[in-house]
Structures are given as structure tokens and as C-alpha cells.
Structure 1
Amino acid sequence: MAKPSEPYLRDLEFKGFVEGLTYLDKKSQPLCHYFGGIPYALPPIGPFRWQKPRPLPACYRYGTRANPGRFTGCCGVCPQPDWGEAENDKSLWDEDCLQTNIWVPIGDPPRGGWPVLFWIHGGFLQFGSANDDDVRGLLSETACKAIIVSPGYRLNLFGFLASSELREASPDFAANVGFWDQRLALEWTWQNISYFGGDPSNITIGGYSAGSHSTFHQLAFDLGVSDSKSIVRRALMFSNGPGLQPKSFDEAQMQFNELLEKLRIPLDVSPAEKLAKLRTLDPKTLIKASENMKYHQFRATTDGSFVRHGLLNEIDNGSFAHQMKRRGVKLIMGECRDEHFIYGTWRPPKNSFDSLFRRLQADYPLAACEALVEHYYPNQKLPAGCKDWPDAFGRIYADIQIHHLERGMANALVRHGAGDLIYRYRMEWRAKCCDEWYKKEWGVTHGTDMSIWFWGGNGHLSKKEKVLAKKGFVDNLAKFLNGEELDWGTEHPLGVRTLTPKGTIVCEVDKRMEEGLKVWEVLKRVGATGLPLSAKL
């Protein structure tokens, strides 16, 4: 359905002129301004596929007063696999996806500029788009008056292909380019958001699901740069945690070899020839090949550059907490009660232990997979409470991506004196509008709480639901973005602000912490949280 709007022209000073939209309500009153698909980098296509993103030149202009750059559409959509039986619209695919959408509140900004939320979309790092969120209601009806910047970035094999041989033999190849895209978009925001009325010294990064996982890695990277290059002031990690220490280049090489075999590219040709051939193939061919692979998940690699070696050990030994404390970086993090229902739909295994074990290897290092199945499934028996192995997969996947490692991270931050920087939550209630996208029997599953955080988002909250969302979380979100103290209510930093099934807010002790820490310790012993080899001997 069309969204009522009128053209909106903005002068970006020496950057040029841009035309966006002012969205209107039913009475033609303005809701917010919007710019869609503004480039933040040069196109990563042709010979620049699998290279780090290239900044726009200093002389880049977005348009003139007489002929402004027109940004009334959306970001390019990175080519991506389908989710189950739901086919994505391949006519929208565009490898040139390094653009960002920008939402701006109505009215004059406060002194210094609007606070800024740099929002990273989710999708397992395999699919999704910056165009999926609608924040018109959030910006017009709530106290959340902030510029929201939502960038596109490279996904799946376009964003996270890795190979030890390419790393060693091809200087123009880089791993983790999807994360490098996000970082360049964040730097572009820091350098340019003042032209849109934003405050570059007040940037919160955040995301949902894989966007939350990306937020962790962006936060970790930012904590590792000098103070003069640091951008992040606060972070939102909704329904995802740090995850495991990513695979090594040697493990990534196995995935790379499998991709070459699927594409019938000989393994005995030079790395340069392999890369050149891969750069000539069209996106549909690459995506089709990846969908039929055993190692079909293209995720981060521990490259020692963007993703540091021993990154999660930095959390466990206190260096992460120390740097957060030194810079005063605060964090909201939490979960939904029934995350596993959605997680179990993404490339689920067949109904056997062996199939589940193979499916885990698509995401995680082998040593971690072996430790996990030994802990969860002694004697390879289906646990009580799991109806079958696909159900068991959804539950363990949700535990590792969200429930348990989020608890391990929170506990480590508190142990090392950063408890005053974190705010934890749990959602056990969902709004009626979620019924349009999520099965009722899935309960408060992954994604349902976005109707709270984003004020209905693409749905609509009832008046009663809006009162609950406002009092429970949205008012605190507004304070967080402004750098103000929150009315969170928990008595201990490991306490949880919970939205109960009855629609009430309670602040409670985390009754699930013990099991989370057991899994954290299991993974730490095998080095999955980054312990050096000497510590394991």
C-alpha cells in the first residue's frame, strides 16, 4: 500500500542537494523525512567483488540545487538465498548494495543535533534488507526523536567468503567484507550525519538478530581502535549475542573448496585463476551453488584484522569490560522467550543426530560442534522436551546465538566491574499485529518483539498495546539514545526486566543464568571462546 508523501529537498552544503520524502499521515500532517538508497561507498562489483569497500571520493557530490540527487526509493538488495518456501524477489537483486536509508524526525534538531541510531538489519548474515523496517510511527508518536541510519551491506558468500589460499596469494581479496561494509557505513555516518541534522558525537549502534551479532562485532572493532577513531557511544543487541569465535581460515578453506566443486572450478588451478573465474560468474549461479552445499552458511572468519584472534576471551578475561568502562559505552541486550521456533526454520536438519551435527558444522568450528553435542546429547539421545531433531536444532541454535552466550557475555562484564553499563531484558508477550507474520503456536518467537521496540514497525499496535510498549521499553529506548539515565528497575546488573505473558513488567533474577554459564565454560575449554593453545594444555 502506498505511503502518502511529498518531496523533501535538503541542502547538504558542499556535499550537494538531495531530494527525499516527507511521509504524511491521513490528515496530511508530516510524520518524518526519509532518504532512500544514498550511496556510502563505490560499487563492489566486477573486479571489486570480495574487496574491502571503497570510500566515496572527497569530491563526491549528491546533486545540485537545480538537479538534486533523488533518493526516494531504497537500498539495493544483495543477492541472497530464499528462506524455505518463501522466494525472494530476484528482480530487486543488486550487487551494488552499498547504500543507506536515512529517517529524520520532523522539526528543528536540539542543540548539537539529533541523536543517531545506526541500525543493522538481520537475516542470519545470509539474507534480508535495509528496506524491511518502517519507523514512521516510532519517530512521530513516541519520544524517540533520533535519526535512524540503516545501511545495506554484502551478505552470504558476497560478504563472507573466505579462503586461506586467497588470503595468502591475492592481495586484492579480503575476508569479512560484509563487516567492513558496515564499518565504512558507520564512518560515513560519523562524517556526514551533521548535514542531515544529526550529532556525530552521539551515535548508538544496534540491530536485531544477525544485526545484533553484527553490532557485537562492530562494537568489538570500535573498542580496538584509538580514541580518536572511536565512533560508538552505546549499543543495542536485540536477540543475538557474541556467538562463537568464528572459524579459522583453514576451516573456511574447506567451504571454499566445496564451493569450487559445486561450480566445477578445478581445485588445482592457481588462486588468482580461481578468484578471477568467481568474479565472472553471475549472482544467480553463485547463490544456486551455495544453496546445495554442506557448508552453506557464509559467516565471519577469524582474520586477525576485523575479527581478532581470541576475541571472546577478551570478554572472559576482562579486557572488553575495561575498554567499555573507559569509554562509558552502555549496552541493552536481551531475548524473546521462544526464539527457537524461528531459528528452527532456517535450513533445518533431517530428523537424525548425524544430520543435526552436520548442520551445526555449517556455522561453527568443528571442535565447538563436538563439545556442544557431547554436552547437549550424551549418547546421541534426543533430549526430553524436544519433539524431534529439527526441533532440537532450533533450540540449540537459539541457545548458542542468543540465550547462553549472551548470558556468558553479561556475566563476564559484571565480573569485571562493568555491570553499571548493561541493561538486560526478556520478552514473554507479543502484540496482536504479529499474527500476520508469525504462527500463533510459535508464541513469543524471534522477531515478535520488534513490534514493541519499533512501535508496531510494519504492523499496528492497539491503544492498550501502545501504553504497554511505551511504559515498558520505548520511553527507555528514547532515554538511551539521548544518553540519559534509564528507569530500568533491576536491583542487580544481572537482573532482567521482563515483559510477562500477562503484559506486566517485572524485574527479576535471571533463573536461566546457571545453564548459560555451563555452556560458556564448555565452549571455553575447547577454545571456542578464544583461549590460546597453551591455556588448553
Structure 2
Amino acid sequence: MVATTEITTADGIVRGHRGRRVLRWRSIPYAAPPVGELRFRAPQPVRPWSGVLDATKFTSAAMQHRAGARIGPRAYQPTSEDALTLNITAPALPARSPRPVLVFIHGGGYLIGTSALPLYSGTRLAERGDVVVVSLNYRLGTFGYVDFSEFGTPDRPFDSNLGLRDQVAALQWVRTNIAAFGGDPDNVTIFGESAGAHAVLSLMATPAAKGLFRRAISQSPPADWAITKEEAYAFARRCVAALGATPDTANAALCTAPANDIRRAVDHTLSQVGREQPGVFPACPVTDGEFLPRAPIDAILEGSAHRVPLIIGTNLEEGALFAKFAPGRLPTTPDRLRAALTRSGAAAESRIAAAYPGYPDAKAAILAGGDFVFWRPSLSIMEGHSRYAPTYAYRYDFAPRALSLAGLGATHATDLIPVFGVGNSPFGRALTAAGGRQGLRAVTDQFQDNWLAFARTGAPLPSWPAYTEARRSTLIIDSPTRMEHDPDQAKRLAWQDVRVPTFAG
């Protein structure tokens, strides 16, 4: 199977690139370009083409600030509204039987990022695991996660949850076409990190995604992100005002304004909200009662989400990355954390302060802020989903000495290095120049062996037991890796019943 890089899809022929050990196809369209009359509309089917589509190079990233599409030290991918594409990496050797498929959803706070980042190539996963790896772009920020549907008209309607709809469309494309690339359409695992991990949970709660994947992996999800339709409308009104439009002129402005003008207005509004309301992230999926009936965390807790096997975990020091490079994004200072806890009362803050030795010093506050956004809600997902489907919990503790010296430790996104197996790349070698190379090889084996076993069978290696509320078995991925039951129990109990802030308009 797959002896050539010219593949016939349902929409036309695509030509990829043959490497020494893998075959690659880049920027294959999975939906029509959402431009012109399709701006702010649900994704539409691909328009078939004649001839052969060159899929050897990346095209554009989704619309975002230029810095978010950085793909190298001095390299930036062009951005465009026309970016609904996906990439495929498959082993070069013909398959004896259809291969498991892993579909990766990149992170970036639903605001930035691109599937063209070299880290996400999937080459080492495909080669080592004899799997097909797919990565995708989806509409971000302004064009994917702001609900302007209130300003739609009968002649020019707008749809909600566009980024989430894009992800469903990409999975539908995979379902239809992946067999031609050697993949098994009945054995698809979705996995993602950060906002991509939240997207995984959102897809589990999306009725339209039913049957499009069999298992899910969620790495560092801000698991309780979601806003109501009313909150979404209030945020959209502020964005429209920042664009210089009124409710009466919003439809025309949103249809005709240059993409970057709308993006800048939304980015400005998001910055304002971040300063005013710590812990609030309004550019996220909307519980619109239709495409996403319930907030993902609520659907999972009540058992109405898709009951597929799930791996979920977080990193030990999630907040350090944000405290150093994006201090306004997370509540990683005592003042910002206190503001984020206003709905939970002074008693909650006292419990949390007692659970983090040294609080309110900077390091303890950073740890607490990262746990507030990522670990706290992930615990609820572990508990809730384990009642309905096999669930496996982990925590990533490993940090090469260079990261520890930089004050980052096992921070947000560092788990992607072993997952994608880039320890032997120039970046990986630089990261371990001060020590930790052998440890990184060991945790790479841990991640990839477990992820690949899960993709093949629906369960990780036998040494990793399922999570239950009785034992709370958690794989601590480190050098060496170990199993703990109910790790950091005092912190877990301190976060119980904490209520997240809601968008105040």
C-alpha cells in the first residue's frame, strides 16, 4: 500500500514528497477556502481540482499575529484566511495492513500556531510506530473562536464555533481519504497539546464528531475553557466596537474589512480582557446549544461525551513558561490568582496558599497559577471520564538541566519534545548540552511506546493502570518513570470546588 506519492483523493490527485524513510504530503485542502462569502461561515466541501495538486510544500498558516506563525529562528510562515489544510506523514515502506492513524491538533491558546512547525512533522512517530500521522490547521482567534453570529443577517449569516467545525471537517476528510495513504479510517486517535488538547476534549463533546475517532489523548488541556452564548455575544460586541463599527454596521464591517484589521481589533480586546479579568479566556468554544450543546467538561462529567479511551495529563511546572514569556496570560502572581479566585471565596485562597509551600513567593505562585489553569480542571476530567470509559492519567516531571537553569523546569509544551522524538535534532541536542540526554531518550521511549500502544489497541503499555477515583493511579514520566497513586493529594484537595471566573462583558 502507498508505493507512490501520487495519491487519488475524493477531490483530486495530490503529489507528495518521498524522503528516505517516510512519505510526506503538505497543505492538502480539506475544506473550501473560507473567504469572501464563506468568511465566518461553517467549512464547506473542497472544490475538486483537475490535474495533480502539488502537496510537497506548506502554503499558509491561519490568520494570526505574524509572531505566532514562526517556524524557525528567522522564518515565518505566511498567514491567510485560506488555510484549511492538513499534512500527512506515512512510512515509506508499503504497509501489510492498514496503519493506525494519529491526528494532531496544535496548541497556541486558540490564537496562534501552525501545523508547519518542524516539531510537529510526525516523522519519528510514523517511522518508529508504523503509523500515519496527520496534522491540521484550523481557524484561530478572530476567524475561529469569536462568535459573531449575533451580527449575521438572513442574506449574510455567520456561524459559531468555526475552529471546532474545521476540526470536525478535517476528521471527516480523514475518514473519507486516509485509506489511500495507507491509514485505517476505523482506527483514528486524536491528540493535541494545550489549546489542541482542549480541542480534543471539545471534539469528545461534539455530536458531529461521533464515530470520527476511536481514542483521544489530551496533553495539558485548559479543560474548563468554554463560554456561554451570552458571554460570547458580549465579547463579540466589544470586538466590533474596537473595529470601529456599531451593531448596525457590524455585518458589513465584518464582511468587508481587511482580515488584519479585524484581527488587530480582536487582539486588542483580548489584551484588555486579560488585564481586567485574570483567568478569563473568551476566545474559546461556545456552548451554542447546537454544534456544541454542553461545555466539554460538563459533557464529560455527566457522561454525554463520546465514551472513548482517553489519556490525559499535565506538566509539573505548567505556569513557568507563561510567567517568563507571557506574564499577562495566566494568573501566575498572587494578585492575579486572587482575582481569578473571586468566585470561590477567601477560604479557597487560604487552602491553596497552605498547599503550596512558600506561597505567596514567586515560584509558589507560578506553580499555583499553572495548576489552576491546567491541572485542576484536568483532575475533573480524569475523575468524570473514568466513570464511563478507560482513562489513563500522567504527569510529566522531566526537565533537562538547561531548562532547570533557565527557571522553566518541566513547563508547558516541553512534553512535545519527547512525544515527537526530536531529542536528536539540533534543538534537542542543544537542550541537553548541559546534561539530561540519556534521560530525554528514556522519557521519549516512555511517551512514544505508550502513545503508539494506545493508538494500536486503545490501552497504553500494561505497566500503566487505568485511573479510578479509588486509586488515582498516575504515571509520573521522569528519569526514572514511576507510578504514583493520588500524587500531590493536599494540592488536589485544596482545588476542590474552586469555581473559575466568568466573562464579565
TM range (shorter): 0.7 to 0.9
What is the CA–CA distance in structure 1 between the aligned matches of 2:27 and 2:415, rounded to whole Å? Answer: 27
The structural deviation recorded for 1:482 is 1.1
Match of 1:401 among 363, 368, 373: 373
> Which residue identity lines up with residue 63 of structure 2 in the other structure?
P
CA distance in 2, matches of 1:451, 1:38: 25
Structure-2 residue corresponding to 1:535: none
Residue identity opposite 2:216 in structure 1: A
Which residue, out of 229, 233, 240, partners 1:260?
A: 240
| 1:203 Cα deviation after fit | 0.4
Query: 1:196 — aligned with what?
Result: 181
8 Å contact 1:408–1:520 — kept in the other structure?
no
1:445 aligns with 2:419: no
Q: Which moved more, 1:70-79 or 1:164-173?
A: 164-173
In the other structure, the counterpart of 1:428 is: 397
**How much has 1:488 moved relative to structure 2?**
4.5
Query: Per-residue deviation at 1:90?
Result: 6.9
Aligned counterpart, 1:18: 14
The structural deviation recorded for 1:406 is 0.7
Aligned to 1:363: none
Tell me the alpha carbon deviations over residues 205-234 of structure 1, each in whole angstroms, 9 at most, x when there is no partner.
11111110101101221xx359xx511101
Identity across matched positions, percent:
24
Deviates more, 1:168-177 or 1:94-103: 168-177
Cα distance per residue 1:315-350 (max 9 Å; x no partner):
333444xx51xxxx2111111111111233436179
1:343 lines up with 2:339 in the alignment: no
Distance across 1 between alignment mates of 2:199 and 2:246: 34
Question: Which whole-Å CA distance do the structure 1 matches of 2:441 and 2:418 have between them?
Answer: 10
In 1, Cα distance between equivalents of 2:343 and 2:381: 19
In the TM superposition, what is the alpha-carbon distance from 1:356 to its structure 2 partner? 6.1
Letter in 2 for 1:309: R
Structure 1 residues 378, 76: closer, same or farther in 2, change over 3 A?
Answer: same
Which residue does the alignment assign to 1:366? Answer: none
1:346-495 pair list within 5 angstroms: 346=326, 348=328, 370-372=342-344, 374=346, 377=349, 384-387=358-361, 392=365, 395=367, 397-414=369-386, 416=387, 418=389, 421-431=390-400, 440-456=406-422, 459-460=427-428, 464-465=438-439, 467-469=441-443, 471-483=445-457, 485-490=459-464, 493=467, 494-495=472-473
Q: TM-score, normalised by structure 2?
A: 0.82
Query: Structure 1 counterpart of 2:240, which letter?
Result: L
Return the offset for 1:158. 1.0
Superposed counterparts of 1:8-157, under 5 Å: 9-12=5-8, 15-23=11-19, 30-57=20-47, 60-61=48-49, 63-64=50-51, 68-81=52-65, 92-111=78-97, 113-132=98-117, 133-140=120-127, 142=128, 144-157=129-142
**Relative to structure 1, is the Cα distance of residues 171 and 305 closer, same or farther in structure 2, using a 3 angstrom cutoff?**
farther
Say how many residue pairs are matched. Answer: 471
Asked whether the 8 Å contact 2:61–2:79 carries over to 1, the reply is yes
1:54–1:514: structure 2 CA closer, same or farther, 3 Å change rule? farther
1:206 and 2:191 matched: yes
1:497–1:356 Cα change, 3 Å: closer
CA distance in 1, matches of 2:497, 2:312: 21
8 Å Cα contact 1:124-1:210 kept in structure 2: yes
Give TM-score, length-normalised by structure 1.
0.78
Equivalent residues of 1:216, 1:241 under 8 A apart: no
SS at match of 1:69: strand
Question: AA paired with 1:39?
Answer: P
Question: 1:387 Cα shift?
Answer: 3.5
1:333 maps to what in 2?
312
Q: Using a 3 Å threshold, how does the CA distance of structure 1 residues 186 and 200 change in structure 2: closer, same or farther? A: same
RMSD: 3.5
Partners of 1:396 and 1:163 in 2: how far apart?
34
CA-CA distance at 1:249 after TM superposition: 2.1
Q: Distance in 2 between matches of 1:411 and 1:170?
A: 46
Distance in 1 between residues matched to 2:155 and 2:345, nearest whole Å: 37
Which residue pairs with 1:533 in the alignment? none
Alignment of 1:238-253 (within 5 A): 238-244=219-225, 246-253=226-233
Structure 1: how far apart are the matches of 2:197 and 2:45? 24
Q: Contact 1:75/1:130 (CA < 8 Å) preserved in 2? A: no
Please list every run of 5 or more consecutive structure 1 residues that lacks an aligned counterpart in the other structure: 1-6, 24-29, 361-368, 529-537
Q: Shift of the alpha carbon at 1:162? A: 1.4
SS of the aligned residue for 2:342 comes to helix
Separation of aligned partners in 1, 2:240 and 2:326: 24
Q: CA deviation at 1:302?
A: 1.4
User: Does the 8 Å CA contact 1:78/1:94 hold for their aligned counterparts?
Assistant: yes
C-alpha distance 134-314 of structure 1, shift in aligned 2 (>3 A) = closer
Would you say the 8 A contact 1:105–1:139 is kept in 2? yes
Distance of 1:230 and 1:251 partners within structure 2? 30
